[in-house]
């Protein structure tokens, strides 16, 4: 089947099932084009919750589909490939996370959205890289904070907010591979270029960044910062498609990696394909299932994130019962 025929069939299936396709910025170009909405984790969660579509295809990784299901439990949420995991999720086993929480029962646990439904269920608030600073700033100053699972994002937030936090020792396997030493050389070779980095990068890389933010933040910076036409970008390569569309005249350079590898593709994000989207829509297969009891527990911290993002007041728990 040609790609054009595949796209036409997906559009027909989408209409037949009254389905909505959500795609993360790290997906391949063709998937971003077929999606109804393309964005970062926060935007996709918001669109999934707001949509009246009974069927949602989440072209990203599994935890994103789980988040949409938790926020909209009556909807059918499909993911193209159940193997689309995340190193942050696999590096945060539920049992270990609970034991960690039990050591600090009076602390508020803010958990990055890159986490399992089970881990979310024992968290106090969820955050994304777009709204994490706002979430941290909403916590009373007299409360301790646990942050996980990405330690680099946690340390960045400590510097931004002035709040001390205890971090889970997790990391994104793609973002930690950028080379600070090579980035320094690249900046010298491209005078006037601005370095845009995702906060999951290590501190040494962030030290050279002119802008640090989420994928949507990086996209907005390229759109609006007219001080230069050259940008060195330290995040997953999928975002380059939207960056180039937003600023066709811009020179976009991938930040360098350690060693000789070209490791700028997330292996999990790139498991999805048009063929897999077609297959899951054809039979409404690969449906995300989350235990109803887990949904009830995990919805509260996710909704707390949504409320804080919308400027609504929230009530924080006083103690982790575990």
Digit-coded pLDDT (tens) for 247-259:
999 999 999 998 7
The pair of three-digit structure tokens given for residue 93, joined into one six-digit string: 């086993």
pTM of the model: 0.96
CA–CA separation, 109 vs 320, rounded Å? 9
Q: Which fold has domain 3-84+269-290?
A: Rossmann fold (3.40.50)
| Sequence-distant (≥ 6) Cβ neighbours of residue 77 within 8 angstroms | 48, 56, 58, 65, 68, 69, 287, 288
Query: Per-residue confidence at 264, pLDDT binned at 50, 70, 90?
Result: confident
pLDDT at 262: 67
CA–CA separation, 298 vs 302, rounded Å? 7
Beta bridge partners of 78: 57, 287
260 pLDDT more than 70: no
Query: Per-residue confidence at 94, pLDDT binned at 50, 70, 90?
Result: very high
pLDDT at 257: 92
213 pLDDT more than 70: yes
Residue 255 is given by DSSP the state P
Percent of the chain topping pLDDT 90:
96
Let me know: does 14 contact 281? Beta carbons within 8 Å. Answer: yes
Looking at residues 147-173, what average pLDDT do you find?
Answer: 98
Four-CA torsion 131, 102, 87, 153, nearest 10 degrees:
30
Q: Does a cis peptide bond (omega within 30 degrees of 0) precede residue 149?
A: yes
Beta bridge partners of 37: 22
**φ, ψ (nearest 5 deg) of residue 51:** -65, 145
The pair of three-digit structure tokens given for residue 291, joined into one six-digit string: 């235990």
pLDDT at 1: 80
Q: Cβ-count burial of 164 within 10 angstroms (0-12 exposed, 13-18 middle, 19+ buried)?
A: exposed
Q: Where are the domains of the chain?
A: 3-84+269-290, 88-171+296-309, 175-254
CA–CA separation, 160 vs 178, rounded Å? 22
| 175-254 matches 88-171+296-309 in CATH topology | yes
Query: Per-residue confidence at 322, pLDDT binned at 50, 70, 90?
Result: confident
Looking at residues 32-38, what average pLDDT do you find?
Answer: 98
Vertex 46 angle, CA 322 and 98, to 5°: 15
pLDDT at 259: 75
pLDDT at 261: 66
Residue 257 is given by DSSP the state B
The chain-wide mean pLDDT, for the chain, equals 97
48 pLDDT more than 80: yes
Looking at residues 99-103, what average pLDDT do you find?
Answer: 98
Let me know: does 320 contact 105? Beta carbons within 8 Å. Answer: yes
Distances (CA, A) of 257 to 180, 183, 230, 244: 8, 8, 19, 21
Three-class SS of residue 153? helix
10 pLDDT more than 80: yes
* Superfamily of the domain at 88-171+296-309: NadA-like (3.40.50.10800)
Helices 41-50 and 292-309 pack at an angle, to 10 degrees, of: 110
Which of 32, 7, 17 lies closest to 242, judged by CA? Answer: 32
Give one DSSP letter per residue of 172-201, joined into a string.
-TTGGGB-HHHHHHHHHHSTTPEEEE-TTS
* Superfamily of the domain at 175-254: NadA-like (3.40.50.10800)
């Amino acid at each position: 089947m040609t790609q054009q025929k595949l796209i036409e069939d997906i559009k027909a299936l989408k209409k037949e099932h009254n389905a909505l396709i959500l795609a993360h910025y790290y997906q391949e170009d063709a998937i971003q084009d077929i999606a109804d909405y393309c964005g970062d984790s926060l935007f996709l969660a918001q669109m999934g919750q707001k949509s009246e579509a009974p069927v949602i295809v989440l072209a990203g990784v599994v935890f994103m589909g789980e988040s949409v299901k938790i926020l909209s439990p009556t909807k059918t949420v499909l993911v193209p490939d159940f193997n689309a995991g995340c190193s942050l999720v696999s590096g945060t086993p539920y049992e270990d996370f609970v034991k960690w929480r039990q050591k600090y029962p009076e602390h508020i646990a803010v958990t990055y959205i890159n986490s399992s439904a089970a881990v979310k269920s024992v968290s106090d608030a969820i955050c994304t890289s777009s709204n994490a600073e706002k979430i941290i700033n909403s916590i009373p100053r007299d409360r301790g904070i646990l942050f996980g699972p990405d330690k680099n994002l946690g340390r960045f937030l400590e510097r931004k907010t002035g709040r001390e936090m205890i971090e889970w020792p997790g990391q994104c396997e793609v973002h930690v591979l950028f080379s600070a030493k090579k980035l320094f050389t690249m900046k010298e070779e491209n005078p006037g270029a601005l370095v845009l980095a995702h906060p999951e990068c290590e501190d040494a890389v962030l030290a050279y960044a002119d802008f640090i933010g989420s994928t949507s933040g990086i996209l907005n910076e390229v759109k609006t910062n007219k001080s230069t036409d050259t940008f060195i970008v330290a995040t997953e390569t999928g975002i380059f498609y939207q960056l180039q569309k937003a600023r066709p005249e811009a020179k976009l350079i991938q930040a360098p990696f350690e060693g000789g590898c070209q490791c700028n593709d997330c292996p999990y994000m790139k498991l999805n394909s048009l063929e897999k989207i077609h297959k899951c829509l054809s039979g409404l297969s690969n449906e995300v299932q989350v235990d109803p009891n887990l949904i009830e527990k995990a919805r509260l911290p996710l909704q707390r994130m949504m409320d804080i993002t919308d400027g609504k007041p929230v009530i924080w728990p006083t103690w982790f019962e575990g």
